[in-house]
Each structure stands twice: as C-alpha cells, then as structure tokens.
Amino acid sequence: MLRCRTWLFGPVACALMLCHESAIAQSLIPSGALTLAANQDEGAAAAPDVFQFEILAASPVWQGVAPPSPTTPGATPFSVIPSIFAPSADAQEADAEPVSLDPARSNEGTVTPPENVPAGSEPAERSVIPDRDANFGTIRLPEGFPRNLPKDAPAKERKVEAEFSDGLTLKSDDGYFSFTFHNLTQADGRFFNPSGNPLSDSFLVPRQRWYVLGNVSPNIRYYTVINRGYGSIDLLDAFLDMNFGAVEPEKLQIRMGRMKTPYTYEYIKISETDLIAPERSVFMGNLAPNRELGAMAHGNLLEKRFEYALGVFNGPRRSFQDYNSAKDIFTFVNTKPFRKWEGSPLQQLNLGGSFNCGDELNPLQPNALRTANDQSPSAAAANVSPTFLNFNPNAFEDGWRMQWSGDLTWYYKSFMLMAGYQGGFQNYGVSKTALPSSFVGETSATKTQVPLSGWNVTTSYFLTGEQVTRRVFLVEPRSHFTSFRKRGTGAIELFSRFANIHLGNAVFSNGLVDQSLWSNNANVMDNGVNWYPNHYTKLTFDWQYSDFGKPVQWAPGKMTSYCNLFWLRAQIFF
C-alpha cells in the first residue's frame, strides 16, 4: 500500500486514465485488469486528506503468453517519475517515514501481476506512454474516493510586501513576482492665433494612461499600458521581456509584443512622462514608426557604454494588424564613450544612430501632418493641433520605406543638449476607388517615392540647480514646493527647441496631396518653462510658433502661413 497526500490523486488518476484510454495500453491491458482503490489509512490517526491506495495492473502478458523479461528486446519498462509523484515537504515532515515509490518495498506500494502470470516472470519495470490526442477519455472514481481535490500544480503561496516610490508596487518576499502600477494624467489648455473651425481654443486631456508592469520569475518581465487620448481607450503597449539565464539580463533580453520601435534617442530613450517640451519634435511626432507589433533583442554591453536594439516588426504604425507578409528591420545603437571618465564634462555624452526599412502595404498613419500631437489617428486631433499637410483620402503606403537618424545627447550638471537629424523615403500609392475603412491592400499602378527629412535641436537648463544624467521618472526638486507661505520653490527648468520637417516635392504629384491647400515644410519653435513642485507633478507653459513656408488652409476659405500656440499643461505621474 502507498501512503500519499490527496494532491497525488489528480496526477495518479490522470496517468491511469491515459494508460487505460491509449491505444497502446488497450493493446496491452485487458479490460478490467486495471483497478484503483482508495481507503482511509487504518493504522494512523492521520489527517483526513491522507489515504492509501493500491494499483493493480496486469503485466504485459496477455492471452496466456509469458511476458518478456526486462532484458528481452521489446520489453516495456515501467517507471514512475519521482518529481511528479513524490510527496510534498510538509507531507514528509508529517509522516514518520518518507514515502517511497520503490516497488520492492511492499509496505509502501505494490505492482501485482495477474494470477495467470508465473511468479518471477513479470518485468521489474514497465512504461506505457499514451498518444497525446484530444480524446483523453474519463475515469470513474470508486466509492469513497475524495471528489473535491485541489487543482493540479497549484502555484506556490508567497508573502507580499507593498511599497510606494515612483509607483505603487506589490512584490513577493522572495522577489519572484512583482506588480507595479503607474498613473499618468495630462491636462492641457491650448489657445491659438489664428483660430477657427476646426482649430479651436480648447481644454483637453491628451493622455490618460495606466501602466501595469513587473516580473514573473527573475527571467520574465511584463509591461502593459492602457491609454485614452483624443480617441477611444486602447491598448498602447503590451510586451514581455525574457531572459533565461544564459546571458546576464542587462546584456540581452528578448522583447515580444506591441512596443515602441527603436528609432532615435528622442523616441526610445525619453518617455511621454519626461518630455522637455509638451510634445515631441515635429518629424518624430509625425513620421516616426511609433509603436508596432514585433520582436526585439536589446541590452547594454561594455559596462553600459554601448546600448543596442535589433528588431523585426510588422510595419504599420500604431496598428494591431498587418497587411502583407513583409517585415521591417530596425537597428538602434547608443554609446557613452566617456562614461568611465568620472567628473569629466563628457561623461554623460551620448552618441548614436538608428536605421529601419521594410516593404509596406498599409493605410496611412497619420493621414495628416500636424505640429502639436503625437500621431493620433483621431479626427479630433484637427481641433487641437495646427495641420500643415493633409493626404488625399485614397492615398496609402505602397512600397519600400527607409529611415535613418543620427543623435547626440549631452547632460552636464543642470544643462542638457539634444540634437538629431533624420532622413529617408517612403513610397506611396493612390487607389482608384475610396479605400475601405478596414483597408484591403491593393497595389497601385503608380508608386511615388517621397524623400523625408527633419532635424531638431533642444536645450534645457535648471535654474534651481537640479542635475540630471537622463530623463527618467521626472525630476527630484532640491526643495519641494508646498505653499506660497512656506519656503521651497520646486524645480524650475527653462527649455527651447527648434525643429524642422520636410517632404520632397514629389508628395504633390500623382494625386497624393493638394498643393494649393498644403505645405510640405514646417519649422516649429518651442520656448517655455517646466515647473516641478514635487517629484510627481509638472506644470508647463510653452509658446509654440510654427512657420509653414507657404499659406495652408486653417479654416474653410481661410489660409495662413503661421500659427501661434499658447500651451498650458498640468501633469501628474506616479
């Protein structure tokens, strides 16, 4: 007889059922030769979840034929995997003697051959492995067998600790599991000169985001972001980072899911919570590949002096759907060659670049280029951001897209400089009929290759003396502001940015864009101040001036070659 805890009955029953139902077992075990019995342990006042059971199985000798010996070719050894059937640690502590699955120990368990098998002729071990198919069959439990068994392979219970720092974190005491919640709320007031329909003075919430991230085991990290912008609530990010111990996680992780594509320092290294100006530079806000579905290897080498990313992605910007089998290749590198020069002004100098290319067949995203938002697909974006180029509704991405960038970012004490130059091209097509909302890809008769370029220079300086070496999790003020009656100023940062975007004149050919209404060039300057009363709050005032080089339509029947935007933003992030 074999003593075990009730949690053993699930795997045992499953194994017996599999053996009984499989074609192999049915050819070896005659009907009725397999019996499972369970009885309360008679010899001890054990807990009610401790039972004895006996497995009675015929040896592989049927119809009066002697079985093969263990050494005979074709013999099927019988084995039990201890890691599955061994009792738990608490069961071993409760029992006076650990449970053994050695068939030689008759007091712990027996394998009894049928009566017609000569003694000593049964094999010492047998193994019957059923085919894995959808028909696993059922097994009936005998009278008195416990019905309410625990679930197979229950998760280990762990104690949980809570802490609040840059977010609310719950984590197990052994570090195996963690759960962190972040909230980002941005509220804007935007006032335009000139203004009109659709561009109107507005209060709005450009971003409301909830972040859920953490780890499940030391090797797997998860990251999910739910976003509400100008449109509906959507899943912004959803990916896993995986490393299985062969290489240090810092040096190599594999990321899969929907994520930011690794293009330019500004986009991949600075999140929306830590932007200097309220939005990204005009090229990045409109033509960056943004978020896509794919897989990416990334890490840091040479004592964090060399950061890399290499990925394969579907291709459509901000989409959950792909429209062809071609995939985009992305590469990104960022180096800090002087990182080990302690105290040097060049210690936090970053030099890098990125490249991506792919064969596209996608709906346009975005279908309009604007100066004050981040690639929103919502039509409501036209009400809150000046538009300088609008593609015709039949245009779509059709053919190769290639983009590259060179980046320089320098942090020194309270000063920051960030500069980037971007270039590339995109092929477009025009459908003969209106594209359906679901976009059924088609190849246009005429493809138009449009050169793309842009550049930006951004500077910032903390008047209150805070020093930063990267823009992550906002700024910790040297003195927190609590009220005007108490001392404490918070952190005050001045910033200025000049940015340009240019599309080649080919964009006005083959029916892509109406040249009489729109411009293929925009220069955008932002000047303003960020005030951080505390670590979690930022207030921004920005004056954005945009020059389009030629008049563009800003209201029906009205044209302008410039736009002033007076921009207030209140942000909280934790």
Concatenating the DSSP letter of every residue in 324-363 gives SS--EEEEEEEE-TTTTSTT-TTTTEEEEEEEEEEEEEEE
Question: Do residue 443 and residue 519 come from a single domain?
Answer: yes
Question: Do residue 175 and residue 150 come from a single domain?
Answer: no
Nearest to 518 by CA among 380, 387, 416, 346: 387
Across 346-365, average pLDDT? 95
Give pLDDT, residue 283. 97
Task: State residue 284 phi and psi, 5-degree precision.
Answer: -65, -35
Band of pLDDT at residue 389, cut at 50, 70 and 90: very high
Digit-coded pLDDT (tens) for 416-439: 999 999 999 999 999 877 776 666
Question: Do residue 136 and residue 188 come from a single domain?
Answer: no
- Looking up residue 535, the CATH number of its domain turns out to be 2.40.160.10
Question: Do residue 307 and residue 352 come from a single domain?
Answer: yes
Rounded alpha-carbon distances, angstroms, from residue 117 to 25, 56, 376: 18, 14, 78
Question: Do residue 366 and residue 443 come from a single domain?
Answer: yes
Band of pLDDT at residue 13, cut at 50, 70 and 90: very low
Amino acid identity at 26: Q
Question: Do residue 140 and residue 167 come from a single domain?
Answer: no
Across 495-519, average pLDDT? 97
Is 454 within 8 Å of 440 (Cβ atoms)? Answer: no
Give pLDDT, residue 148. 59
Give pLDDT, residue 231. 77
Question: Do residue 503 and residue 551 come from a single domain?
Answer: yes
How many domains does the chain contain in total? Answer: 2
* For residue 25, pLDDT beyond 70: no
Question: Do residue 283 and residue 399 come from a single domain?
Answer: yes
Question: Do residue 351 and residue 294 come from a single domain?
Answer: yes
| CB count in 10 Å sphere of residue 434 | 8
Digit-coded pLDDT (tens) for 536-568: 999 999 999 999 999 999 888 899 999 999 999
Element housing 9 (H / E):
helix 9-21
Out of 110, 137, 154, pick the residue that ends a domain.
Answer: 154
Band of pLDDT at residue 470, cut at 50, 70 and 90: confident
Greatest alpha-carbon pair distance for the chain in Å reads 104
- Tell me if residue 237 falls in helix, strand or coil: strand
Residue 410 CA to residue 419 CA, distance in Å, equals: 9
Residues of the domain holding 205:
160-573
Element housing 179 (H / E):
strand 177-193
Could you give the dihedral angle defined by the CA atoms of residues 247, 250, 251 and 254, in that order, rounded to the nearest 10 degrees?
A: 80
Q: What percent of the chain has pLDDT over 70?
A: 72
Position with higher pLDDT, 374 vs 224: 224
Give pLDDT, residue 438. 63
Question: Do residue 123 and residue 271 come from a single domain?
Answer: no
Out of 154, 184, 206, pick the residue that ends a domain.
Answer: 154
Out of 107, 134, 154, pick the residue that ends a domain.
Answer: 154
Do β-strands 387-390 and 368-370 pair in parallel, antiparallel, or remain unpaired?
A: antiparallel
Give pLDDT, residue 379. 81
Band of pLDDT at residue 4, cut at 50, 70 and 90: very low
Is 526 within 8 Å of 496 (Cβ atoms)? Answer: yes
Question: Do residue 418 and residue 487 come from a single domain?
Answer: yes
Give pLDDT, residue 311. 98
Give pLDDT, residue 441. 56
Digit-coded pLDDT (tens) for 112-134: 444 444 444 444 443 333 343 33
Give pLDDT, residue 153. 67
Band of pLDDT at residue 330, cut at 50, 70 and 90: very high
pTM, to two decimals: 0.72
Give pLDDT, residue 524. 98
Is 544 within 8 Å of 372 (Cβ atoms)? Answer: yes
Total count of residues recorded for the chain: 574
Question: Do residue 40 and residue 96 come from a single domain?
Answer: yes
